[in-house]
Amino acid sequence: MPIRYRRFAALASSLAAALAFAPVQAQNYPSKPVRVIVPFAPGQAADLVARVLAEKLNKTTGATFVVENRPGAGGTLGVGMAAKAEPDGYTLVLATIGPLSQAPALYPHLSYSPIKDLAPITDIALTPTVLVSTPSAGYQSVQDLIAKAKARPGTINFASAGAGSNQHVTMELFKSRAGIDIVHIPYKGGSESAAAILAGTATIMFDAIPAVMPNVKAGKYKALAISTAKRSPLLPDVPTVAESGLPGFDAVGWMGLAAPAGTPEPVLDYLNQKVVAALDDPEVNARLKALAFTPDGMSRQKFTEMIRSENEKWGKVIREANIRLE
């Protein structure tokens, strides 16, 4: 047989094997434990959500989904590890707004590309952030805060969990839209930034609903506005930033599930179906809401489009604010 025909036959054979492999793998998947990397420490929001989901998937698939915490570098360490894993469906990662949609603009030497190196599966939960202030500051509304900031530029400070954190980046969007000059005080994590607001060391802060709700309910924080386009049922009396004079303002924290790029399509489809079904389960839905999260769940295509859109949005904010991390 001439060489060119042998090569064609070999190529055809490889293609046929690949096409046959996908449905077989989907039928047998998962046949061993599935590792779910959470790129944050145990007990944090992403970890809690991942464990609720893993528990349900263990019941509905008959397999074992094991949560593995790999914190560090704002979540980029764990995501980078997942991006480099074998694309066989047995390593997944809890994908969140920080390492997927903000880190690419923050880190000049990021070890992965969220678009090229990961295969989005579905969104899991949404968590709006809340603009809160220390009650002693006396701000009655967003407009009151903006007016005072404009009257005395550079005299109001805001806390964040660190440079480049979602708290920081969301406030930069707010500063830009409001046209105000306020001073950033970065702390070493969310617990320190929360303590600063409680102590009155810092004046205002954006933070996720699960983190602020206890202090808002106790009157230790003044909730000025919700970051999302619609009010949250968890704090229905708190207006949105858009309602408060900044039309179109919309910022929401999100977390989803992704796999290494190259993971077989049937496996990704299987995972999407199982996770979306889990989120529709009344018990799972109630548990996530009890943690102050809004359960979501969408198609793979829609989640991919959302990540691309979020990358563009936050990349612009970060570049304009000139935030760079090493």
Strand partners, 249: none
| Model confidence pLDDT, tens digit, residues 182-225 | 999 999 888 899 999 999 999 999 999 989 999 999 999 999 99
Query: How confident is the model over 234-248, as pLDDT tens digits?
Result: 999 999 999 999 999
How large a percentage of the chain has pLDDT more than 90? 85
Residues 6+ apart with CB under 8 A from 81: 37, 70, 93
Report the pLDDT value the prediction gives residue 25, as an integer from 0 to 100.
53
Asked if 176 and 203 count as a contact pair (C-beta separation under 8 A), the reply is: no
Fold agreement between 33-126+252-321 and 128-226: yes
Q: What is the pLDDT of residue 324?
A: 87
pLDDT tops 80 at residue 314: yes
DSSP label at residue 38: E
Domain ranges of the chain: 33-126+252-321, 128-226
Residue 26's pLDDT band (boundaries 50, 70, 90)?
low
The tens digit of pLDDT for each residue in 266-276 reads: 999 999 999 99
Which pLDDT score is estimated for 1?
47
* pLDDT tops 80 at residue 300: yes
The single residue listed with the structure tokens 């404009």 is: 150
Residue 19 has pLDDT above 80, yes or no: no
SS3 state at 261: coil
Task: Give the fold, CATH level 3, of 33-126+252-321.
Answer: D-Maltodextrin-Binding Protein; domain 2 (3.40.190)
Rounded to the nearest integer, the mean pLDDT of the chain is: 91
Tens-place pLDDT, residues 89-112: 999 999 999 999 999 999 989 999
pLDDT in tens, 249-260: 999 999 999 999
State the pLDDT at residue 28: 87
* pLDDT of 24 above 60: no
Distances (CA, A) of 236 to 46, 182, 189, 225: 24, 28, 28, 10
The stretch 53-62 carries a mean pLDDT of 96
pLDDT at 5: 41
Q: Does 21 have pLDDT greater than 80?
A: no
Give the pLDDT of residue 256.
98
pLDDT exceeds 90 at position 326: no
CATH of span 128-226: 3.40.190.10
Which long-range contacts (C-beta less than 8 Å, at least 24 apart) are formed by 9-18? none
Could you tell me which of 227, 223, 232, 224 has the C-alpha nearest to residue 248?
A: 227
Q: What are 118-138's pLDDT values in tens digits?
A: 999 999 999 999 999 999 999
* pLDDT single digits (tens) 67-77: 999 999 889 99
